[in-house]
Every structure is written in C-alpha cells, then in structure tokens.
Amino acid sequence: MFDLPAQRAHLSEKYDLNPSPELAASMSDIYDRMSRVVSPVDWAIYAPYVKAINDLKAERNAVILGHNYMTPEIYHGISDFGGDSLQLAIKATEVEADVIVQCGVHFMAETSKILSPEKTVLIPDMEAGCSLAESITADGIAEMRRRYPGAPVVTYVNTTAEVKAASDICCTSSNAAQIVAAQDSDTVIMTPDQYLAQNVARDVPQKNVVWWEGSCIVHEQYSAKDLRDFREWNPGTRLIAHPECPPDVVAEADFSGSTSGIIKYVTDEMPEKALLITECSMASNIADALPEVDFVGPCNMCPYMKKITLEKVLFALDTMTGQVEVDAEVADKARLSVQRMIDLSRKLGI
Ligand code: 13P
Ligand code: SF4
C-alpha cells in the first residue's frame, strides 16, 4: 500500500512542485501535444512534475515506456516511447538505459524485466494489476493441458511470469490471430481472455480454438446494443473496438484492433467522428495529433492503469522503489514464450 502523505512529504522536501504558469509556458512544446485535452490550469499543475521527472530520467539513465492507456500528461509529458503491449515489449529489448520505468500495469513491467534481467525495472505502483492477469495461475494452464492433451498453449501477455512460463508462446492483441494460425495443431488453447479467443476463433476458422474464461473489466462492459443505439443516434460515427470486447460488440464495430491498430486505423481513415470502444485515455492521447477527428461518445476507465500518476513516477525514480523482480528460473521459461512471440511476429512482418 502506498503511504501518500509520506510520499508527498518526501517529494516536497526535495522538489518545488507548486503549480507554475511560468514553468508551464516555458514547456509549451510538450503541452502542444495535449492542449486539446488538458486545460492550461491542469498543465500548470503537471509541469513541475514533468520537469522533475525528465531531469531525473537523465540523471538515472532511465527511459519511460508509456502504454497507450496512460493519461496524456504521462503519455506525452514523460514517456520516451508510447505504444501497445507488443511495441513496448519489443522496445524493452532495444533500449540501452540502466533503468526502465514502466508506465502501464504490472504484467508489462514483468515482461520488460523478463526480457532485460540486467536492467532495473520500476513500476510506480505495485498494485497496478489487471483483471486478466488475475484470472489465471500456472495451475490453470496445467488444467487446460489436461483437458486438451497435446494442444499448444497461446497465452496473452496480460498474465504473470509464472503463467507465461507454463505456456508455449505468448500473443498480444496485435498478433493473436496470426500466432494462433501459425500453430502446428488443429486445436489451440488460448488463455486467459475468452473474448480475444472468441474473436480469434472467428478470424481463424481452420483452428479449433478453446479458451480460459477470463475477461477484461474495461472491455467486457460494452454491449452490442450500446453500439447499435449509438450508431442510430449518431449516424456517420465510425465505431472502433478493441478485441478484448465480446465478439458481438466487435461484430457491430467498423474496425477492431489493438491500441496501436486503432491509432493506425484512425490516422489512415481520418473519420469525421469516431467512437473508440476501449479505455478512455486512448482517444485523449491521439486527439491533438488528429484535430480533424471528433472523438465522441462514452468510454470506460481502467482502474489499474489509472493507478499510475506523475507523483508516483517521480517518487519511484527518486527513491528507486517499485523494483520488479522475477525468479530467475521462472524468467528463463517465461522469456522463451515471449521471445517466441517476438520472433514469430517479426517473421510474419507484424
Ligand atoms: P494492447 O495495447 O496490446 O492493445 O493491449 C490493451 C490492453 O488492455 C493492455 O492492458
Ligand atoms: Fe487489464 Fe483491461 Fe486494464 Fe488492460 S484495460 S490492464 S486488460 S483490466
């Protein structure tokens, strides 16, 4: 548990974190990337944190990897690289820093540590979990193997290191269909996201895809009726869904893809109005780069992603707390599953 008052007392002794319109104005190049979605008043509050974190990053030879679901002040203000789960996993293998600060959730930080055991990997809040990662353990993988003997296990990266270690290969939402299609078996086990698996089963009909019953608490909340109603009331809006949504929701959408797939689709298509059926920060993070697109309609917030704040990032980097450790034997096995995914993705040109 975080002791916020103690954290704040520590930070205020070392840094001037008072809101500063002058500092905010001097950092307008950063603000320009989020000025449609962050008010000038809020930017004056964020700017001292952004400056302190960026200075400290240089001192510690650290890089910040920011998932597409981070809030704009984190995504645009302090992240060196933004992206989806696959892009961030690959980036973790490429960066030359001593320290990686994962602005995302715990499984992402663990994946970075698995791929770069020699680096210090920090997560600003250890409680930034994920409903999918919490839905299965290594025993669950063993149970699926008993139920479907000989079938390969394709596991979503949204899982713990132990679960990855017990699997044959990982996937993300940007490569799941291709990874399943490439398996040398008629039956393929997908864990732990039942909806991603069902969406893949539709796209890869030559395989008998069987799945674990996990789900994402953000994406499972959408219904096909929500989309039909929205389309009826807002004709001309492009509906774009993440594949963690149930299959009937994806079927109602105009496009489905990973978070980076969504960015690419909107950038290529430039719809006048778009409803992103995914986490709320997704639209906020691309709004300034795409002023021609009106992002409309409701979104759902991921409570885990939202645990990451500027204040917690500064505290983690300052004190080097929140270090992610993975047992060496588990990491070696988990690395095989993640590396197989990265190698296959590269081979398939994803
Ligand atoms: P992608 O960024 O890989 O699409 O994953 C979405 C997600 O839910 C990560 O938690
Ligand atoms: Fe997990 Fe869903 Fe949150 Fe992603 S959006 S971290 S899948 S709960």
pLDDT tens profile 253-312: 999 999 999 999 999 999 999 999 999 999 999 999 999 999 998 999 999 999 999 999
Neighbours of 124 (CB within 10 A): 26
What phi-psi label fits residue 181: left (phi over 0), alpha (psi between -120 and 50 degrees) or beta?
alpha
Cα gap 260→70, rounded to integer Å: 13
Residue closest to 277 by CA, chosen among 309, 247, 305: 247
CB-CB contact of 132 with 172 (8 Å): no
Q: How much distance in Å is there from the Cα of 186 to the middle of ligand 1?
A: 27
Mean pLDDT along residues 318-343: 97
Among 69, 179, 285, 307, the mutation site with the greatest number of ligand 1 atoms within 8 A of its Cβ is 69
Would you say the CB of residue 68 lies under 6 angstroms from ligand 1?
A: yes
Would you say the CB of residue 296 lies under 6 angstroms from ligand 2?
A: no
Residue nearest atom 7 of ligand 1, based on CA coordinates: 85
Question: Quick one: which atom of ligand 1 is closest to the CA of 104?
Answer: 10
Residue nearest atom 4 of ligand 1, based on CA coordinates: 258
Would you say the CB of residue 256 lies under 6 angstroms from ligand 2?
A: no
- Nearest ligand, CA 216: 2
Q: How much distance in Å is there from the Cα of 69 to the middle of ligand 2?
A: 9
* Percentage above 70 pLDDT, the chain: 99
Q: How much distance in Å is there from the Cα of 338 to the middle of ligand 2?
A: 19
CB-CB contact of 214 with 193 (8 Å): yes
Would you say the CB of residue 278 lies under 6 angstroms from ligand 1?
A: no
Would you say the CB of residue 173 lies under 6 angstroms from ligand 1?
A: yes
Per-residue pLDDT, 3: 82
Residue nearest atom 2 of ligand 2, based on CA coordinates: 216
- pLDDT confidence band for 1 (50 / 70 / 90): low
Would you say the CB of residue 199 lies under 6 angstroms from ligand 2?
A: no
Mean pLDDT along residues 129-155: 98
